[in-house]
């Protein structure tokens, strides 16, 4: 059996918080605690316009204080354009560059200010810059499980886009349940169809969920052969467009519960996780 990878996403959990700016020192303390847990990857920050995502304007400063040398965890940063990628690539500590690619024209414009075809062109440039700087690209296929905006969506459309991204050279592709609308049938159908067709691609599941249906989503993805899961402690973050305050990121503690029950080794230090969980309570207190 392939190793299950858990990608912790403090960036996704924090970026939507607009009521207050989380102090840089608190982010550093929290992310350093996460680095001790043993996650495969930390989606720690982003290099995007501070006007667009003010909460992440200190990502470079946070990075400068992270104890990456004493951690096996790799760092991932999200970018929305070539300028952001060039900035992120200046840092040797960053292993992965992430780009949110939407199969919804409307959402792609809202999220990155680009059309889908402009994003295809950008992905080509991002793959090149990653290769030149010894990084790896992680593409997030947002609206991967459905579309609330009225754009056409089907399993076939998703499959066609996966083929196109594969042809470009994308090797890590995370299907994103952007607004928490995926159900276990769709999750299973997509992964069961895609994973055997593209053995060269590492497929991931970036699932947003309501507390009552997290298990069915994880179980469907894992049962269909997905071994890469994004999560965020306490389930913070997710997409505000879901219009449900209980819909957020997949809680990492639920992922741990699921895989522990199946006696699958996820190579996490659970005592360190408890410490990081306690730091998360401080970070998100009152939100």
CATH number of the domain at 10, please: 3.20.20.70
Report residue 245's pLDDT band, with 50, 70 and 90 as the boundaries.
low
pLDDT of residue 180: 79
pLDDT tens profile 77-133: 999 999 999 999 999 999 999 999 988 888 888 777 888 899 899 999 999 999 999
Asked whether the predicted pLDDT for residue 10 surpasses 80, the reply is yes
Asked whether the predicted pLDDT for residue 151 surpasses 90, the reply is no
Burial 57-66 (b: 16+ CB within 10 A, else e): bbbeebbeeb
Q: State percent of the chain over pLDDT 90.
A: 76
pTM across the whole model: 0.94
Rounded to whole angstroms, the Cα distance separating 81 from 116 reads 13
Rounded to whole angstroms, the Cα distance separating 18 from 55 reads 7
Asked whether the predicted pLDDT for residue 172 surpasses 80, the reply is yes
Query: Considering Cα of 12, then 16, then 17, then 18, what sign does the dihedral take?
Result: positive
> What does the pLDDT average to over 156-183?
93
Report residue 286's pLDDT band, with 50, 70 and 90 as the boundaries.
low
Q: How many domains does the chain have?
A: 1
Residue 234: count of CB within 10 angstroms of its CB = 18
> What does the pLDDT average to over 55-78?
97
Distance of CA 77 to the CA centre of its chain: 10
Asked whether the predicted pLDDT for residue 243 surpasses 50, the reply is no
Asked whether the predicted pLDDT for residue 279 surpasses 70, the reply is yes
Given a contact cutoff of 8 angstroms between Cβ atoms, the answer to whether 94 and 77 are in contact is yes
pLDDT of residue 287: 65
**Which neighbouring-strand residues pair with 100?**
140
Rounded to whole angstroms, the Cα distance separating 10 from 20 reads 16
83 vs 180, higher pLDDT: 83
Judged by average pLDDT, the poorest of 38-42, 61-65, 82-86, 209-213 is 209-213
Give the chain's end-to-end CA distance (angstroms, integer). 39
* Mean pLDDT score across all residues of the chain: 92
Q: Provide the residue range defining the domain that includes 90.
A: 5-283
36 vs 287, higher pLDDT: 36
């Amino acid at each position: 059996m392939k190793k299950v990878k858990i990608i912790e996403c403090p960036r996704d959990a924090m970026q939507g918080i607009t009521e207050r700016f989380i102090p840089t020192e608190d982010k550093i303390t929290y992310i350093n605690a996460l680095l001790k847990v043993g996650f495969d990857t930390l989606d720690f920050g982003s290099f995007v316009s501070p006007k667009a995502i003010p909460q992440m304007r200190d990502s470079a400063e946070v990075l400068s204080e992270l104890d990456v040398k004493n951690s096996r965890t790799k760092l991932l940063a999200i970018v929305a354009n070539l300028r952001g990628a060039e900035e992120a690539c200046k840092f040797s500590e960053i292993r992965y560059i992430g780009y949110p690619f939407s199969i919804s024209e409307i959402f792609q414009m809202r999220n990155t200010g680009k059309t889908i075809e402009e994003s295809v062109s950008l992905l080509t440039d991002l793959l090149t810059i990653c290769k030149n700087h010894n990084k790896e690209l992680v593409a997030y296929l947002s609206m991967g499980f459905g579309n609330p905006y009225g754009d056409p969506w089907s399993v076939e459309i998703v499959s066609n886009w996966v083929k196109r991204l594969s042809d470009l050279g994308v090797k890590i592709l995370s299907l994103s349940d952007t607004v928490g609308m995926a159900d276990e049938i769709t999750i299973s159908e997509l992964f069961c169809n895609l994973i055997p067709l593209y053995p060269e691609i590492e497929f991931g599941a970036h699932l947003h969920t309501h507390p009552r249906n997290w298990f069915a989503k994880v179980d469907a993805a894992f049962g269909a052969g997905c071994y890469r899961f994004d999560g965020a402690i306490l389930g913070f973050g997710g997409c505000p467009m879901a219009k449900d305050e209980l819909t957020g990121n997949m809680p990492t503690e639920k992922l741990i519960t699921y895989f522990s029950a199946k006696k699958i080794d996820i190579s996490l230090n659970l005592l360190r996780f408890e410490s990081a969980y306690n730091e998360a309570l401080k970070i998100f207190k009152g939100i």
